[in-house]
């Protein structure tokens, strides 16, 4: 069976008068987006507009819930309880789902943002809270998570459809986790394409310290604040398709 890969970007991170990212330029090149839900970024107006833009381009939509920390963009560690994690996922995703309903698009997936995504790698309670929040929605959204992390494995155990996320433009550590960058510099497109091809076709990626580790994933995450991101997305699509990989949103992929 042909490999299937989703091209994915976090969007809807503007707030009020403040503009962030490059959603207009990236939308034509991706198959899925994760939309900020008003806690770490995004507001009701931005959410509506982002979902409408996705629909216009036939792009699948997921929620991107984060910590209630706008000033820190959800990138500061906060210690919340399992119940709070569930409640925050439900609140934010529920709000986004209403905009999806308005636009007539499905809620494809949930992908926690920033430190809510990262802290759960090492916090069983947090991971469980996130998945309890996800379980509220029908049809159950796909869980977008980093391969082989605690929440990824937990979701698999629970029978939740989970999609591994591959980072085109972040560095990998030996344990398979990645480093957040405050700002994503200009990427080397050719080198990044090579890295992604290796991740997708050989399930291998080089770590920062020169090792090679196994990764699996259905979704390649691109960062829209990178000025060459649209170019990178186009190159990835072209090179992946040239090798027989199908570029498909998560909901159109085959889950065993």
Residues at the site binding a copy of itself, with contacts judged by CB under 8 A: 15-20, 38, 41, 43-45, 47-48, 68-73, 76-80, 83-84, 87-88, 90-99, 101-102, 136-138
* Shortest separation between residue 42's beta carbon and a copy of itself, angstroms: 10
* Beta-sheet strands, E only, within 89-208: 107-110, 142-146, 162-167, 204-206
CB of 101 or CB of 175, closer to a copy of itself: 101
CB of 47 or CB of 240, closer to a copy of itself: 47
* Shortest separation between residue 140's beta carbon and a copy of itself, angstroms: 12
Give dist(CA 58, CA 157) in Å, integer.
32
* Shortest separation between residue 1's beta carbon and a copy of itself, angstroms: 34
CB of 48 or CB of 246, closer to a copy of itself: 48
SS3 of 154, please?
helix
Question: How many other C-beta atoms lie within 10 A of the C-beta of residue 116?
Answer: 28
CB of 79 or CB of 191, closer to a copy of itself: 79
CB of 68 or CB of 227, closer to a copy of itself: 68
* Shortest separation between residue 33's beta carbon and a copy of itself, angstroms: 18
* Shortest separation between residue 44's beta carbon and a copy of itself, angstroms: 4
């Amino acid at each position: 069976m042909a490999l299937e890969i989703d091209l994915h970007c976090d969007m809807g991170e503007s707030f009020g008068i403040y503009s962030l990212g490059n959603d207009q330029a990236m939308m034509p090149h991706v198959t899925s987006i994760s939309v900020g839900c008003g806690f770490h970024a995004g507001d009701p107006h931005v959410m509506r507009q982002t979902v409408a833009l996705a629909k216009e381009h036939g792009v699948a939509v997921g929620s991107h819930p984060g910590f209630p920390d706008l000033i820190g963009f959800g990138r500061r560690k906060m210690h919340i309880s399992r119940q709070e994690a569930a409640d925050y996922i439900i609140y934010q995703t529920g709000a986004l789902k209403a905009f999806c309903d308005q636009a007539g698009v499905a809620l494809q997936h949930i992908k926690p943002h920033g430190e809510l995504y990262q802290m759960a790698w090492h916090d069983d309670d947090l991971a469980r809270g996130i998945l309890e929040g996800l379980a509220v929605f029908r049809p159950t959204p796909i869980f977008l998570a980093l391969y082989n992390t605690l929440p990824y494995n937990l979701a698999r155990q629970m029978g939740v459809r989970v999609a591994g996320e591959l980072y085109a433009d972040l560095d990998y550590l030996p344990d398979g986790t990645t480093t957040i960058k405050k700002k994503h510099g200009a990427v080397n497109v050719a080198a990044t394409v090579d890295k992604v091809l290796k991740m997708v076709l050989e399930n291998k990626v080089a770590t920062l310290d020169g090792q090679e580790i196994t990764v699996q994933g259905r979704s390649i995450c691109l960062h829209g604040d990178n000025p060459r991101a649209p170019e990178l997305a186009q190159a990835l699509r072209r090179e992946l398709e040239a090798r027989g990989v199908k570029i498909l949103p998560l909901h159109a992929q085959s889950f065993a």
